[in-house]
Structure 1
Amino acid sequence: MEQDFLQQLRYLGFTARIKRLNERIVSSTVSHYSNLNIDIEPNWHVIFLLLKERGKLTVTDIANTLGFSHPAMIKITRKMKQRGYLNMSKDSKDGRKTLIQLSQKGYRKLPTYEQEWNRIQEVLEEFVGNDFLNQLNELEGKLLDQGFSERYLKKFGNSNSESVFSIRNAYPSEFNAIGKLMVQVYGGLEGFPKADEQPDYYQKLADIGSFTQNPDAELLVATSNSGSLLGGVLYFGDMKFYGSGGTAPSEKNASGFRLLAVDPSTRGLGIGKALSIACINKAKKKGHPQVIIHSTAYMKPAIRMYKGLGFVRSKDLDFSQNGLEVYGYRLNLK
């Protein structure tokens, strides 16, 4: 029997084999559900089970919990609503948010579906096995810790001089360009409030250079060898000028940084991490025992990076910005 070509490619055939495997399982599941007259599609079970456990969630909550894209979750939940499995309603506390929950039909069908999913799980266990699941967990963890681009550059470097960057304080002549980059990056975040929803916030982004008028506030930038702006971040050696809601501005003997942004075309090169480390080093030089930052549910890659640097959740720093939940983090430098 001729050897499978994708197997011959070994690691170069890895992603294609994963895609092929997924297509085969999805196709088999579609046929299985059809034979049993079960009116659902593959992967809907994760939505059913998540909503059974959590009750009401937004599309963003679902996407963030499962690690799927926001558009993909919108498509699936709309289909499930059309089939009568979901109800959608406006959040009484924030009219911009739509809450999703199982409908009466969803709850009524759930016991039957769960019985079938348990059977499917038993069949999958025959050819998947715990070893494979453990290796999959390890693989996902490695990719979250450090992506392909960062690993490639660490191993081989890059001959393209545009990908080599340095960190320095921004020049006043660059403030407008950095502000435009900030608006572009934050406005492009999936699910994040847009300029018409939070105009004051976006005005701060556009005028980011004005923060440097405060004592101990610095605007750091990453630039390529040719001088192109690749990213920026605000560092605060005095939290009094941090400018956020909540209790962070009243923190003493601490540094902070916020409004980190990296040009989307250069992501994966470690620029955001380098900017963060530059701020941490400034805090160490000042002798501060901690660094304070904030993030949101729409910034999952950044949160993973912060956690990798040692930041931990600090709920006492949380606040709400016109309905947007903002989460606080601390890094202990002692």
Structure 2
Amino acid sequence: MYLPSLAQLALGSRLKSLSDHFYGAVDEVYRACGAGVESRWFPVLRFLWEHGETTVSDVATAIGQTHSAVSQLADKLVEAGLVQRKKDVQDGRRSLLLLTEQGQAALAALGPIWVAVRRGIVRSLGEEGLTTLLTALAATEQSLRERPVVEAMLAEHAELVAAKLEIVPYDPALKEHFYRLNAQWLERHFRIEDIDRELLGDPERHVLAPGGVIFFARLAGEVIGTCALLQESPGVYELSKMGVDETFRGMGAGRSLLAAAIAEFHRRDGKELFLESNSRLKTALRMYEQVGFVMQPAARPGSHYERADVYMVYEPKQGATARAGAAKG
């Protein structure tokens, strides 16, 4: 399924989906049993049933909803004849909520249904599953009270924005990111070919051992991009396996990786640097052209990739070559 693959980013969506599922299930049971209430009314009605007349603020605090949300729900309950509002004699600026006789009678008739709901949930989720879920919910609620999530998110965002992008060489601990980042864009735009699967699955054998190099872009501890410089023969290199996490597009990771690969090519006194790509990848092709790659009139003879219909060769400007030589000296 798609949402689980998004992990933390889809937490709210998954919880809402579960919430809607349970609300819908209980509403269906209420209708089947002839109860004239809705599942979303339950927290307010139950609180008033147990505590008697009280303020909207007290209800909101007790059930963890906003004052506005509870007030709007109270209006619906008043319209349904289950709740009434009356002025607080001690403070005329606020009103009190209390169940009407109709509301009392409606809730009194729900006992067998509530028991059925409790038992049905246990039967569906299992004792252990329900206990795990309720324990996790309690722990989550406690954590959110102690560490508000908005503050945590904004603090992380500030750290990411302030962080300096790093370009680091291959490390075995980063191996999985080489596969992940490349598979992400290949699956989005094309498909993973056998040659991709072989190279990405064992980069130490197919990239590093033959004399190539792999770089990673890292931002505040997050690995957000990668690229490889493959040695085809002495002095001849292929720029390949360039991939940037789509979440971090526009932050300069691609250009920084490209610059690192070109710098390494010059450091090694490389004779030729080429790449293969696809004409659909307009943004990437423009970036390659801007750093000195020149489009060739036809695809590269003997290309290993089915998707490759673009062949580009690096033709550095004299100034860039001179600067690279001076840097080496």
For the criterion TM > 0.5, the same-fold answer is no
Report the structure number with the largest CA radius of gyration: 2
Q: TM-score, normalised by structure 2?
A: 0.44
Q: TM-score, normalised by structure 1?
A: 0.44
Q: Which structure carries more relative contact order (alpha carbon 8 Å, separation 6+)? A: 1
